[in-house]
Chains A and B, each alone.
Chain A
Amino acid sequence: MLFWELFKLSRQRRTYLGLGAAALVPIIFVAAIEITHQGPEAGDAPFAAQLFSNGLVIPLITLAFGSFVMLPAIVVLVAGDTVAGEASAGTLKTILSRSIGRTRFFLVKVAAVALYTLAVLVVFAGVGLLAGWLVVGLKPLAGPDGTPIPVGEGIALIWACAGVLALPLLALAAVVVFLSAATHNSTASVVGGIVFVLLLRLVSGLGLTGFLDPYLITNQFDAWLNLLRQPVDWPPVVRAIWVSVLWMVGFFLGAWGIFVRRDILG
């Protein structure tokens, strides 16, 4: 069934909207800095000073940019449609009239969303790395304290960063799958997911969240930046991991509870 779930994703336009954006943004970014020879100021983005001399910096800067709104938005776009899209197309009643149990079908859908989320990250970081290599070229990275980081380690570091970013993105996907199962409305889930991200960013930015602030899912989107310090600043990374897992599990269980009970109308 997972095969069919991925097959369905592969035949839908919104899938390519997300993957296409994830592939295009790094390309546009590289093209822009090649043409204008302008980039972020040093301090605004990781390793910004080496932007024009080292392609390894490209995926890190695009990740820093993408993790703010773009990647969450792409994830929300597909996650919001999981249950709701099938409910409104009337296919949910068709498939749930078959032998497959509701729990099993739910697991398959969730697995497909998770794979999609990972695919978006891989494409985003991978295209950035590829573009950086082809256009700027790769060489050892000068670390923040001057220690050089060899190219191989630099690439591993990029993927580690993407991996740490994957967890809060998956947690966000769980939140939006929950909305999708609860509302059976695709648009409401997508809009709700994006409003959720912006709202948490806003109340956190205004300092209204108090002691809860370190546990907001949106504040885990930047935790991977701590991997780039020398030495690595582990506590925020570790916190991002368990906080993301808690959000993920909580909303996943909530969505599952709703999905297996809910009346299938429409």
Chain B
Amino acid sequence: MAGKSASGKAPLESGAPALRLLGLSKRFGNFAAVERLDLTVRKGDVYGFLGPNGSGKSTTIRMILGLIRPSAGEVRIFDRPSTVPGARENVAGFVEAPGFYEYLSGWNNLRMLAAADGRSRDVASLLRWALEIVGLAGRANDRVGAYSQGMKQRLAIASALIRQPELLILDEPTNGLDPAGMRDVRDLIRRLSAEGLTIFLSSHLLAEVEQLCNRVAVISRGRLIVEGDLREVVEHARGRLEYHLVTGDPARARQLLESRTDAMILDGSSEGIESFAPQDVLRISPGEGGAGPVVKVLVEEGVEVLALVPVHPGLEETFLRLTED
């Protein structure tokens, strides 16, 4: 990135994780918003921090950014405790809806934040570079109060970029963006990652995390549910397959499956399969042996099997399975 070598930052020991949370907890009164959270973000990761509303994502990010004090546990940044002065020098990010001075222009907001970083040289070119990247160059002189939510979101990303960080912390970065804006931001995240940035981003959209991240942690009610490579986590969550079964005699098939196999008939009508009436379709979750025993029994008893279609649970379904008890 521009000017990186001129920033005079000490070279970091390679191999050290970019971010580690160790037993991180935050209580508000008696309410545990985050509880004993452990996770490790390696250098170069695009790390998805996934959880439903109120699960503690923003609270965790506030602790990472030093805005609130953990009740217990530790944040380590590039292998240094975050309490060491200057530990966050290589970190930039924002939490929740970005807060800017509405009565100042976007440009002046960024200039002031650069001053708060102690940066005085080449500020204008740095700002132009960041505004160009997020596509706000044309509106930089307008008051932030006149920006749309999506523009504020972009300005927040620009404000993080002008710190020229090595670790970027983004709290729901596509929140409030239209589909084109979402695509822009996702493209930008991929590009920054390709340039070597480590990115930690929270989201409540599994689809977003699946598009962007190589690793993922899922939290629910302040607790870590699962952490690992994206593929592993998704497979783990999807668990056993579900099938849609269509036979010549649904009533008989249901009776046979219930008495002769350990397959489960799932309730609720399915979306149906093309060219079959929904009431003829059985949703089943086969037992130990998979779909084989089901077909065998039906064929032996002379029930015509017209279709047997494996169904992957959708991403939303997978997410709900992960985060529900």
Task: Enumerate chain A interface residues (CB-CB to B < 8 A).
Answer: 1, 3-4, 7-8, 11-12, 89-101, 105, 261, 263-265
Contacts and interface: CB of A to CB of B under 8 A. Distances in A.
Contacts of B319: none
A8 B112 CA distance: 10
B1 interface: no
B240 interface: no
Interface residues of B, number: 32
B94 interface: yes
Contacts of A265: 62, 67-68
Interface string B196-215: 00000000000000000000
10 contacts: A8-B101, A11-B103, A11-B104, A94-B100, A98-B113, A99-B89, A101-B85, A105-B116, A261-B69, A263-B62
Contact of B99 (A4, A12, A94, A99): A94
A4 B67 contact: no
A98 B117 CA distance: 6
Contact of B98 (A11, A94, A96, A100): A94
A90 to B, nearest CB: 2
B174 interface: no
A100 B68 contact: no
B103 A94 contact: no
A9 to B, nearest CB: 11
B172 to A, nearest CB: 15
Contact of B94 (A11, A97, A99, A105): A97
B102 A100 contact: no
Nearest to A5: B112
A101 B97 CA distance: 22
Interface string B58-93: 000010011111000000000000000100110011
B2 interface: no
Contacts of B118: 99-100
Contacts of B163: 98-99
Contact of A95 (B62, B96, B116): B116
A89 B67 contact: no
B99 A100 contact: no
B66 A96 contact: yes
Nearest to B108: A7
Which 6 A-B pairs rank lowest in CB-CB distance, beginning with the nearest?
A90-B99, A263-B68, A98-B116, A264-B67, A100-B116, A99-B117
Contacts of A93: 62, 65, 67, 94-95, 99
B159 interface: yes
Contacts of B112: 4, 7-8, 95
B104 A97 contact: no
Contact of B100 (A3, A91, A98, A264): A91
B307 interface: no
Nearest to B143: A11
B92 to A, nearest CB: 8
B267 to A, nearest CB: 43
Contacts of A12: 103
Contact of A97 (B65, B69, B85, B108): B65
Contacts of B69: 261, 263
A140 to B, nearest CB: 48
Contacts of B117: 98-100
B115 A264 contact: no
Interface in B183-199: none
A89 B101 contact: yes
A8 B100 contact: no
A96 B116 CA distance: 9
A95 B113 CA distance: 7
Nearest to A263: B68
B68 A264 contact: yes
A264 B65 CA distance: 11
Contacts of B159: 94
A100 B85 CA distance: 11
Given A11-B103, A90-B99, A91-B101, A99 B116 contact: yes
Which of B66, B69, B101, B102 lies at the interface centre, i.e. has the most chain A CB atoms within 10 A of its CB?
A: B101
Nearest to A93: B67
A8 B104 contact: yes
A90 B97 contact: yes
Residue in A11, A89, A99 with the greatest tally of chain B CB atoms within 10 Å: A99
A4 B115 contact: yes
Contacts of A90: 96-100
A100 B66 CA distance: 12
A97 to B, nearest CB: 5
A96 B113 contact: no
Contacts of B102: 89
Nearest to A100: B116
Nearest to B89: A99
Given A4-B115, A90-B97, A91-B99, 11 more contacts: A4-B116, A92-B99, A94-B99, A94-B100, A95-B116, A97-B67, A98-B116, A99-B89, A99-B163, A101-B85, A265-B62
